[in-house]
Structure formats: C-alpha cells, structure tokens
Structure 1
Amino acid sequence: MDIQKLKYFHTTAQFEHITRSSEVLHISQPSLTQAIHSLESELGVPLFQREGRKIALTEFGVYLKQRLDVLIPEFDHLAIEMEELKQSVTKKVRLNILAASSFVINAIMEYKKENPEAIFDFEQNETKYNCDILITTNGLKNDPEKKYLHRCVKKENIYLAVPKDSKYAEVSSIDLSTVKDESFIMLSNTRLFGAICSRYCSIAGFYPKVIFESDSPTAVQNIISMGAGIAFWPEYSWGKLQNKNLKLVTIAEPVCERDLIVELHERHPKSIYAEDFYNFLTNSL
C-alpha cells in the first residue's frame, strides 16, 4: 500500500469531508477522491459511504483509521529519527588506531574544544580497515582493496628513556649496543612498536631483557625513575615525559625510527568532520 494514499485517507477520515480535507492536504478534490478510490480498489473494501451530501466511514474505514491513528505518527516520526541518525552518522569520525594512540587521543580532545559536535568512534583492529582515518606504522600490510584519499607519512624518532641519575643521562647520544645488559620496561599494548624495537636490538646484537610491562606510559615512567630499567620512547606517540626524573637519550647507532602513517579513507556515508580532523591531526605531527 502506498503510504501517501494512506495519509490522504487518514486526513479525510478525520474530517469526513472531501473539500476540507483537500484544502488541508493542498491537493485538488478530484485527485483526493481518485486516491481514496484507488486505495479502496487495492483493499477490496469500501472505506467511505455517502450520507446525503456528506461522507461517513464504513466499518472498514473505522478499523483502518484506528490502525492509522497509531501508524501514521510513527511513520512521521520515523522520518525525524532517520534524519537524526543521518546527522549522527555524518558527524561521526571512525578511527582505526594502530599506532600513536596517546597522541591521537590528545589530538581528539584538542579538536573537540573547537568542534564539540564531532563524534569519535575508534578501535584497534589490524585486519579491519572500514574507517575514515587509519593511523598505523611500518610493518603492517595495507588492505589492497582500500583506497585512501590522502596519506601522510611522518618519521618518528625512537629514544631511550633513562633515569636522570644514570650514567646514560650524562651523554646526548648512545649506541644501542651499550645498553644490551640493561633491563627494559615496555608498554604491554604496543605489539607493533615492541616488534620494531626488538628488530633494532637484533641489529645491535642483542635481544632486550623485558622485566616489566604496563599499559600505562605513566607507570612506565615511574618504574624507570626508580632505577628499575630503561625503555624505548617514541617521539610523538607517547607525548612528552611527565616525570622530571627521566631523560630522553638519542640512539646514535643504529638510527632508531619508524614511520607514522595517517590515511584518510573514503567511506559512505561521508563524515563531515573526517577530512578536517585528518588535516588537524597531520598538522599536529
């Protein structure tokens, strides 16, 4: 059944008057009459009957009106709900954060100060690329089916975070092989970063002795400051050192760095904030 015809019938059923109904609906009387006759033909029952110069609902018409008293407002509200959903979806920026999570989250908080209506939905999924923006690093294969609109690649230096009173804090740079006997503290949720650091240790001729893992950069800093060990520290991803008892030392050999890759993908429906946030994020690097 045509929803428009049902709405025409429902309005006419409320007034039980063709002329008044056609005025409210802003259509001609013949067009309204034709629509109602078409609906009656489709249903196979009469919906109105003549009572002199007036029309009145039949038993079938009364039943249909009662049902439409509930359904028509729901149909009307459905259009509002769909518009609200469309607005919500188009305001949402979907992120897949496989690297630099602390940096990206800080960028989100800064961005929302000027764009409070932007909604961010993020995940960490190495096999899923259905997102507006992908933040990743070297070592992951890209989805060949996923085309990006823009791509930014930024070199990120990897330092050693050491206690300020350690012998390593006295120098500005150091060969990685020098710390082969030291204990390392790692972030537990950074598999890709850990693999990159292990590769550099292998180049330097050793495998890192990891004595502690934590999912908190703050906890890692506190453990280092107590003299329990040292840690690799990415330049942008984990932000600036908050602990004054630590120092970042440049690794001279091998040169330790990785690529931070930010991609803007095409997705439907298109987010109204995706490209703007992509530019904000890449300009912050």
Structure 2
Amino acid sequence: MDLRKMYYFDATVKYQSFSRAAKALHISQPSLSNAIKALEREINAPLIERTTKQFQLTELGQQFYERSKSLIAQFEVMDTELKELAKGEHLEIRLGMIESANYWFSQVIIAYQKRYQHNQITLIDTLYNQTVRQALLGLNVHGVITNQHIVDTEIKSELLYNEPYVVLTKKDHPFATKEKITLVDFTDEALIIGMPEFQTSAQILKAFEQGNIKPHIQYKIERFEMIKVLVEEGLGIAILPQHYVTQHLSECLLTRPVHSEFLNRNVYLSTMKDRTFPESILKLFELIKTMH
C-alpha cells in the first residue's frame, strides 16, 4: 500500500466526489477511480458504497479514512521537519501574531537577526481560536503568539505574560484627571472597541456584562491602530491591552488604569507538541519567552 493511494482516497472523501477530487489532484477521473479500486483490491474489501447516488463510505472505509488521515498528517510533519533540518539557517520562519505584541516582538527580531541573519521571518495575523489551531496543525506556521489559551492534545500553550487592559484617551478628556476610573464611568462615554468576534473585544464586553453595565459603544473597528486614530481625533475612548499602548503614543494621548478585576489577559506562545524544530527556530522561541 503506497502513500499516493492514501492521498487519493483522502481527497476523494474530502471532496465527497471523484470528479471534484480528481480536479483538485490534477489527475483524470479514471486515473483516480482506478487508484481507489486498486486500493480496495489490496485491502480485499470495498471502501466506498457504489450502490447509492450519495457519496458514502463503508464502515471499513470510514475506519481506513480516519487512520490514513492520521498517517498522512504524520508523514507531512516528518517531511517538513526533515527539509527544515536540512536547510539549517536558511529558513522561512512563519509566526502567527496578535497585533498587540508587535512592538515588543520587533525587539525580539533585532536580537534574533544578529545571530541568524539568513533566516526570513514572516508574520501572519491569527485572530480566532480555530484559525490558530488550523494554522499550527496544517504546518502553515511554526508558532503562534496569541491571547487564546488553547487546550488541545496536539498543541502546547506556554504562558508568556499577563497584562491589564488600560483606557486610552486624549489628554484633555475628563478621564485624564479622574482619580479612579471604573467600568461604570464608561456608560456615558463613546466607546471604541474591536470587532466583537475577536478575543480581546469579547473579554472587554464580558467584563461589562459581569458588572451588569451597558457601555455606549460608538464604533467597532478591526485594527487597534485605527482605534488609536479615532481616539486621537476625539471621537471616543478605548480600552486596549497595555503592551500595545505603551509605545509610540502621540503627544495628545495617554493611558490610565481601569479598576476592574476582569480586565486583564494572558498571552501565550502556542506550538505543536510533537513537532521537531531546527535549533535556529528553537532559539527564536527562547527569545520570545525571555524578551516580552
């Protein structure tokens, strides 16, 4: 039984169609059909029901699919690892990154490039829990810096730091001189937040909900940088992670603490548990864990 036939069978199940699978594999439909028939002859049992109009696996076909999918994933990890180990220090290192980590991570890159100047670093936005998992297990990234604690048998999440959220406001706003800011104070203020489906925004909204407080949300913005622009223009105030707003603030802006036990978050480095990395990638992970 060869790996090619497993790939063909996996694609056929994935697309639920011989014609669609053949197109995705860039082979003819008869070639795909013959490969699956050859596979069934090797096993000496049918894998796909051919007596119904709807695509359906036999019981054995379902078991074979689950096992072959696991073997294909293991092979792809091994293939990737060996190629990366062979390249040594001429790699493209791909990392998922939350926006709030950009400033401190730039210092990590400076330190890293002094030793591994031949490696290329590619940063990718990863905003949702499932996206992070898919990116790691699909080998699209080597690691992810995320504020999502992923509990998964195949993924390791290491705590990097805990940070509070702070309010971002103009210096001439009443909050700038207010002695103590609580969530109740936001009810009459135009609040600018990120998109509700993002983890950061969801946590902020949950903090208001836990305090039984309804904030006045004026704007929902996808990027933190745009939120800063709107605050600077006097269109409202925002609650943002402390790491994001400690650097590169314009002269007219300032941050203040918010007194709430709910407004803080953890940031993690997530990687695949059983993946083997070259020394140059492990060094980058080490710098991430020590320089945040």
Q: Deviations over 1:193-234 (max 9, x none)?
A: 110111111123224333234444343223212221110121
1:97 to partner: Cα distance: 2.7
After superposition, the Cα gap between the structure-2 partners of 1:241 and 1:83, relative to the gap in structure 1 and judged at 3 Å, is closer
Q: Following the alignment from structure 1 to structure 2, what is the Cα–Cα distance between the partners of residues 197 and 84?
A: 40
Q: How does 1:1-285 map to 2 (within 5 A)?
A: 86-87=86-87, 91-98=91-98, 100-103=100-103, 105-107=105-107, 109-114=109-114, 115-123=116-124, 124=126, 125-128=131-134, 129-130=136-137, 131-138=141-148, 140-146=149-155, 148=156, 151-171=158-178, 173-188=180-195, 191-237=198-244, 239-266=246-273, 268=275, 270-285=277-292
Which letter maps to 1:133? G
Q: Following the alignment from structure 1 to structure 2, what is the Cα–Cα distance between the partners of residues 151 and 84?
A: 23
User: Is the 2:95–2:144 Cα contact (8 Å) retained in structure 1?
Assistant: yes
User: Is the 2:164–2:264 Cα contact (8 Å) retained in structure 1?
Assistant: yes
Q: Deviations over 1:101-134 (max 9, x none)?
A: 4246524542454132122244322332234323
SS in 1 for 2:236: coil
1:268 to partner: Cα distance: 4.8
Q: Following the alignment from structure 1 to structure 2, what is the Cα–Cα distance between the partners of residues 225 and 186?
A: 14
Q: Following the alignment from structure 1 to structure 2, what is the Cα–Cα distance between the partners of residues 119 and 267?
A: 23
After superposition, the Cα gap between the structure-2 partners of 1:181 and 1:205, relative to the gap in structure 1 and judged at 3 Å, is farther
Q: Following the alignment from structure 2 to structure 1, what is the Cα–Cα distance between the partners of residues 151 and 103?
A: 22
Number of corresponding residues: 201
1:244 to partner: Cα distance: 1.4
The answer for the alignment partner of 1:38 in structure 2 is none
TM-score (norm 1): 0.59
Which letter maps to 2:240? W
1:269 to partner: Cα distance: 5.5
Structure 1: runs of 5+ lacking an equivalent = 1-81
SS in 2 for 1:100: helix
SS in 2 for 1:144: coil
SS in 1 for 2:181: strand
1:274 to partner: Cα distance: 2.0
Cα RMSD over matched residues?
3.2
SS in 2 for 1:232: strand
User: Is the 1:264–1:278 Cα contact (8 Å) retained in structure 2?
Assistant: no
User: Is the 1:97–1:135 Cα contact (8 Å) retained in structure 2?
Assistant: yes
Q: Following the alignment from structure 1 to structure 2, what is the Cα–Cα distance between the partners of residues 262 and 83?
A: 24
Q: Deviations over 1:2-27 (max 9, x none)?
A: xxxxxxxxxxxxxxxxxxxxxxxxxx
Q: Following the alignment from structure 2 to structure 1, what is the Cα–Cα distance between the partners of residues 180 and 121?
A: 39
TM-score (norm 2): 0.58
Give the number of the structure whose alpha-carbon radius of gyration is greater.
1
SS in 1 for 2:282: helix
SS in 1 for 2:243: coil
SS in 1 for 2:132: coil
User: Is the 1:187–1:217 Cα contact (8 Å) retained in structure 2?
Assistant: yes
After superposition, the Cα gap between the structure-2 partners of 1:166 and 1:196, relative to the gap in structure 1 and judged at 3 Å, is same
Q: Deviations over 1:80-105 (max 9, x none)?
A: xx989941787333323356342465
